[in-house]
Amino acid sequence: MTKLDTQLKETLQSKAREIRVDIVKMLTKAQSGHPGGSLGMTDVFVSLYFGGLVKHDAKRPDWAERDRVVLSNGHICPVLYACLGHAGYFPKEWFDGLRMVNSHLQGHPAMHKTPGVEACTGSLGHGFAMAVGMALAMRADKRDSHVFALLGDGECQEGLIWEAAMSAAHYKLDNLTAIVDRNDAQIDGRTSDVMSLEPFADKWKGFGWHVIEIDGHDYDAIFAAVNEAKVTRGKPGVIIARTVMGKGVSYMEAEGYKWHGKAPSAEQGEKALKELLAST
């Protein structure tokens, strides 16, 4: 695997810290929402939005040639909002209104309310199927744009996910890459206890997908996987990214799934910010 340039890696790491800080601030202010997955997927999101893996332009959110990022596990939208705010899609002041009445930033992504959001998600399963539709439409129009669909592992228990997976392989959608947040956590417990998905990679292979398994906090691996998925011809690619729920905040990492959908208290928020700011 080719290693990333040290300077780029440092830039990404520092951006990831800023994003995590804003996630914690947003959720502590909102006093509801989903920190675990948001923090867990931060390294992947930072690579996509700030590492040049996604073709996008914050000044033209409706640019027809842009790549599409569809957050099918919509509940982790704080990480998406933080990235979009940092990228310049909207003022960072919007973070303060997360989940409050009359806000631009809804509890789950709404494409008609927030620039840069590509689909209305939150009800699990739909985003992935919409991503298939986008990939089909862009191929029909011969556009050189790629579709990234972000999924949760618990979300993959939905039948709809496998209907979408089947159709993507049937149509040989090599302009579609799924990235699954494989943190073995969902609301009621560990995914392996609630409803086992294993053999997970084999399921995707059986559905005709090119499968890449990585550590979702390793920037070298994230870049290599995305590039491999993009150049693979004739089939869609899925990156199974093993992540740690609540990554970067020790007490969340320790309690795993309990931080799926619970906001930190003011005191816990302080503690999290201290840890994040002290990290390098």
Partner 1 sequence: MAVSAEKRATREGYGAALKELATKNPNVVALSADLAESTGVLKLAAVAPERFFQMGIAEANMVDVAAGMATCGKIPFASTFAIFGTGRAWESFRNSVCYPALNVKLACTHSGLSVGEDGASHQALEDIAVMRAIPNVTVVVPADYAAAHAATIAVAEQRGPVYLRLGRPKIPAVYEDGKAPMTLGKGNVLREGNDVAILACGPLVSMAVDAAKLLEKDGRQATVIDMHTIKPLDEKLLLDVARRCRCVVTAEEHNIVGGLGGAVSEALSQHLPTPLERVGTRDTFGESGTHADLWKKYGLTPDAIAAAARKAMERK
Ligand X SMILES: Cc1ncc(C[n+]2csc(CCOP(=O)(O)OP(=O)(O)O)c2C)c(N)n1
**Residue among 25 and 108 whose Cβ is closer to partner 1:** 108
**Burial group, residue 250, by CB count within 10 angstroms (0-12, 13-18, 19+):** exposed
Does 107 participate in binding partner 1 (rule CB under 8 A)? yes
- The encoded tokens of residue 183 equal 């943190």
Does 93 participate in binding partner 1 (rule CB under 8 A)? no
What are the distances in angstroms from CA 146 to CA 97, 189, 193, 236, 276?
31, 34, 35, 11, 33
Q: Distance (Å, rounded) from C-alpha 190 to C-alpha 101?
A: 33
Q: How far is the CB of 8 from ligand X (least distance, A)?
A: 28
Span near ligand X by CB under 6 A; candidates 146-154, 195-203, 212-220, 232-240: 146-154
Q: In terms of DSSP H, where are the helices of 41-76?
A: 42-50
**Residue among 66 and 75 whose Cβ is closer to partner 1:** 75
Q: Distance (Å, rounded) from C-alpha 190 to C-alpha 173?
A: 31
**Residue among 226 and 252 whose Cβ is closer to ligand X:** 252
String marking each residue 53-92 x if it binds partner 1 according to CB under 8 A = ---------------------x------------------
Q: Segment 214-233, which members bind partner 1 (CB under 8 A)?
A: none
String marking each residue 51-90 x if it binds ligand X according to CB under 6 A = ----------------------x-xx--------------
Q: Distance (Å, rounded) from C-alpha 200 to C-alpha 277?
A: 36
- Which of 38, 47, 106, 243 contacts partner 1 by CB under 8 A? 106
Q: In which residue are the tokens 């007490």 written?
A: 251
Phi/psi zone of residue 235: left (φ > 0), alpha (ψ -120 to 50 degrees), beta?
Answer: beta
Q: Which amino acid is at 54?
A: V
Contacts of residue 151, Cβ cutoff 8 Å, sequence gap at least 6:
72, 73, 127, 128, 161, 178, 179, 180, 181
Does 127 participate in binding partner 1 (rule CB under 8 A)? no
Q: How far is the CB of 70 from ligand X (least distance, A)?
A: 14
Q: Which residue is nearest to ligand X (CB)?
A: 152
Gap between the terminal Cα atoms of the chain: 24
Binding partner of residue 99 among partner 1, ligand X, none, CB cut-off 5 to 8 Å per kind: partner 1
Span near partner 1 by CB under 8 A; candidates 6-14, 123-131, 138-146, 165-173: 123-131
String marking each residue 1-30 x if it binds partner 1 according to CB under 8 A = -----------------------------x
Q: Distance (Å, rounded) from C-alpha 180 to C-alpha 72?
A: 10
**Residue among 42 and 121 whose Cβ is closer to partner 1:** 121
Does 187 participate in binding partner 1 (rule CB under 8 A)? yes
- Closest C-alpha to 122, from 70, 83, 159, 163: 70
Looking at the DSSP bridge assignments, the partners of residue 176 are: 147
What residue ranges bind partner 1 (CB under 8 A)? Answer: 30, 32-33, 74, 98-103, 105-108, 110, 120-125, 154-155, 157-160, 186-188, 194-195
What residue ranges bind ligand X (CB under 6 A)? Answer: 34, 36-37, 73, 75-76, 122-125, 152-155, 181, 183, 185-187, 191, 260
